[in-house]
């Protein structure tokens, strides 16, 4: 999309609404130039064929849908307003890039399409003089309510009904993590680890951190607190509601980018928010002696690297080849997966802790998960979309032999990511034989010369 004068080429048949919010005025020429400059500075234009940009736009639209998924009767999902804004921005960015690649002026294209809509759907055919004014009143009321709601979420205001109940249902997780950070330092929230040398790093979080995430999401959803904007996250929170909005933003960012919560802790954003919430809760930070001992939790799923499950060595004793002390081979990994299919108990076990119920993986199984993580790819939905796969955890298994390595790596990326929200998912997938079949298909794809 080339920078243009928005006052030209707009058909006069399009009615204007002077009451429309300035936020709906459209992208400014400066914003469009910044999008194109971002692309050009990185020399990405050579990758931007119209087909690929159209696919990317479709994928981003699907990610926007994800912000509304599983919301039941909640048609607005206002607690995810920041995520909705971010995904909608991605859709518009790709629309600008595609329009620029095709040599189109988006403002002119939209104006012409609206003129066509006016002709196809004349007002006279749909107007009811008795209902017209009422319909406009309803539209204006809904628009005003939605924008007021959005503003309330961003600014942290609340109604009397919200003030009547506590903002924080359980302050213990907030106190526990704040105590840990104050007594042990920012690194106590978690850190980066790898299963072996030259392997992909992944974030490992303390149980207090994982417990806080769950409480923050529950409290924010119950109180209707949206994630704070980037600018709001940089400021000191004025009250507990603003602090909760900052914590929710930090948790949501972690879901999209591994290790982001660690950065929020080290920058001081998380400790500041915790201090405000704990102070307003009117309780002191519990001492180290009061802290509950919980098993170390590894990663988002709450799994850790414990001693091998007692059944592991016994069940693998009959396997050939055995998993030796050296670097595991593909045959070793396949043998372990085959053993899990015969005896799922060797993958690990569930444990109960104050942070919830988590699946604890056996040491060799957790090491296998780390090796597989090295094959993950960024933007894996693009590879899946190109292969015609929309729901990889359900659709991919019957098509494994026909998929190329990139699509298989996309399926593997989604399988590993599912562990974040469903502790023990990898163990169940291994027990069903799906992980072994996926690994075999990936090895065959590499042998074909991918």
Compare 233 and 166 and report the one with higher pLDDT: 233
Compare 387 and 129 and report the one with higher pLDDT: 387
pLDDT category of residue 427 using cuts at 50, 70 and 90: very high
Given a cut of 90, whether residue 149 has pLDDT beyond it is: no
Length of the chain (residues): 450
Residue 36 located in a structural domain: yes
What integer pLDDT is reported at residue 133 of this predicted model?
Answer: 56
Say yes or no: 317 and 415 in one domain.
yes
Torsion, CA 320, CA 325, CA 331, CA 334, rounded to 10: 90
What integer pLDDT is reported at residue 146 of this predicted model?
Answer: 62
What integer pLDDT is reported at residue 313 of this predicted model?
Answer: 33
pLDDT category of residue 321 using cuts at 50, 70 and 90: very low
Greatest mean pLDDT among 129-138, 315-324, 345-354, 422-431 lies in 422-431
What integer pLDDT is reported at residue 24 of this predicted model?
Answer: 53
Instruction: Pick the range with the lowest mean pLDDT from 24-33, 219-228, 230-239, 412-421.
Output: 24-33
Strands 348-353 and 356-361: antiparallel
pLDDT category of residue 60 using cuts at 50, 70 and 90: confident
Residue 126 located in a structural domain: no
Residue 59 located in a structural domain: yes
Given a cut of 60, whether residue 362 has pLDDT beyond it is: yes
| Pair 198, 342: CB distance under 8 Å | no
Q: Which CATH number do you get for residue 104?
A: 1.10.287.1080
Domain residue limits at 109: 22-121
The H or E element containing residue 324 is none
Q: How far is Cα 241 from Cα 225, in angstroms, rounded to an integer? A: 7
Say yes or no: 269 and 355 in one domain.
no
Global pTM exceeds 0.85: no
Say yes or no: 184 and 260 in one domain.
yes
Say yes or no: 74 and 194 in one domain.
no
Say yes or no: 364 and 415 in one domain.
yes
Q: How far is Cα 210 from Cα 255, in angstroms, rounded to an integer? A: 12
Q: How far is Cα 361 from Cα 303, in angstroms, rounded to an integer? A: 6
Domain boundary among 261, 281, 301: 281
| Pair 319, 339: CB distance under 8 Å | yes
Given a cut of 90, whether residue 433 has pLDDT beyond it is: yes
Mean pLDDT of 156-167: 50
| Pair 265, 181: CB distance under 8 Å | yes
> Above pLDDT 90, what percent of the chain?
13
Given a cut of 80, whether residue 404 has pLDDT beyond it is: yes
Say yes or no: 100 and 185 in one domain.
no
Say yes or no: 335 and 251 in one domain.
no
Say yes or no: 260 and 221 in one domain.
yes
Given a cut of 70, whether residue 354 has pLDDT beyond it is: no
Closest-CA residue to 351 (of 290, 294, 432): 294
Mean pLDDT of 190-205: 72
Number of domains in the chain: 3
Helices and strands counted in the chain (H then E):
21, 4
Residue 167 located in a structural domain: no
Mean pLDDT of 11-28: 49
Domain boundary among 121, 147, 182: 121
What integer pLDDT is reported at residue 164 of this predicted model?
Answer: 47
Residues 6+ apart with CB under 8 A from 82: 226, 227, 228, 229, 249, 252
Compare 101 and 308 and report the one with higher pLDDT: 101
| Pair 158, 241: CB distance under 8 Å | yes
Residue 395 located in a structural domain: yes
Closest-CA residue to 302 (of 211, 239, 383): 211
Domain boundary among 263, 281, 299: 281
Residue 348 located in a structural domain: yes
Say yes or no: 211 and 329 in one domain.
no
Say yes or no: 234 and 110 in one domain.
no
Given a cut of 80, whether residue 73 has pLDDT beyond it is: no
Residue 77 located in a structural domain: yes
Q: How far is Cα 305 from Cα 314, in angstroms, rounded to an integer? A: 19
Residues 6+ apart with CB under 8 A from 344: 427, 428, 430, 431
Say yes or no: 277 and 347 in one domain.
no
pLDDT category of residue 356 using cuts at 50, 70 and 90: low
Residue 301 located in a structural domain: no
Say yes or no: 272 and 366 in one domain.
no
User: The tokens of 100 are what?
Assistant: 């620029």
């Amino acid at each position: 999309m080339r920078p243009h004068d928005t006052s030209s080429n707009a058909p006069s048949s399009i009615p204007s609404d002077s009451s429309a919010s300035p936020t709906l005025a459209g992208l400014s020429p400066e914003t469009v130039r910044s999008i194109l400059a971002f692309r050009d500075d990185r020399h990405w234009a050579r990758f931007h064929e119209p087909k690929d940009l159209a696919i990317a736009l479709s994928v981003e639209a699907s990610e926007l849908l994800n912000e509304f998924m599983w919301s039941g009767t909640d048609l607005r999902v206002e607690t995810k307003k920041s995520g909705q804004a971010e995904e909608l921005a991605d859709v518009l960015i790709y629309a600008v890039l595609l329009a620029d690649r095709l040599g189109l002026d988006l403002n002119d294209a939209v104006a012409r399409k609206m003129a066509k809509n006016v002709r196809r759907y004349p007002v006279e055919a749909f107007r009811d003089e008795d209902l017209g004014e009422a319909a406009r009143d309803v539209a204006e009321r809904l628009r005003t309510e939605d924008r007021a709601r959005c503003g309330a979420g961003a600014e942290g205001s609340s109604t009397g009904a919200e003030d009547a109940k506590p903002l924080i249902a359980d302050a213990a997780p907030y106190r526990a993590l704040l105590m840990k950070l104050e007594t042990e330092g920012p690194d106590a929230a978690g850190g980066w680890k790898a299963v072996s040398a030259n392997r992909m790093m992944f974030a490992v979080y303390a149980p207090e951190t994982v417990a806080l995430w769950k409480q923050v999401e529950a409290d924010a959803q119950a109180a209707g607190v949206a994630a704070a904007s980037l600018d709001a996250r940089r400021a000191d929170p004025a009250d507990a509601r603003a602090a909760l909005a900052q914590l929710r933003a930090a948790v949501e960012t972690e879901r999209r980018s591994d290790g982001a919560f660690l950065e929020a802790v080290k920058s001081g954003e998380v400790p500041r928010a915790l201090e405000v919430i704990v102070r307003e809760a009117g309780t002191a930070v519990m001492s180290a002696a009061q802290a509950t001992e919980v098993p170390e939790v590894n990663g988002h799923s709450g799994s850790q690297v414990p001693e091998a499950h007692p059944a592991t060595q016994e069940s693998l004793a009959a396997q050939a080849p055995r998993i030796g002390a050296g670097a595991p081979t593909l045959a070793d990994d396949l043998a372990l997966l085959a053993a899990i299919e015969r005896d799922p108990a060797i993958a690990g076990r569930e444990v109960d802790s104050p942070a919830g119920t988590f699946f604890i993986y056996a040491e060799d199984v957790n090491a296998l998960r780390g090796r597989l993580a090295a094959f993950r790819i960024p933007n894996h939905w693009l590879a899946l979309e190109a292969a015609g796969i929309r729901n990889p955890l359900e659709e991919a298994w019957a098509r494994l032999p026909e998929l190329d390595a990139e699509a298989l790596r996309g399926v593997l990326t989604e399988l590993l990511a599912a562990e974040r929200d469903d502790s023990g998912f990898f163990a169940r997938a291994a027990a069903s034989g799906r992980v072994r079949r996926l690994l075999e298909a990936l090895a065959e794809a590499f042998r074909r010369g991918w």
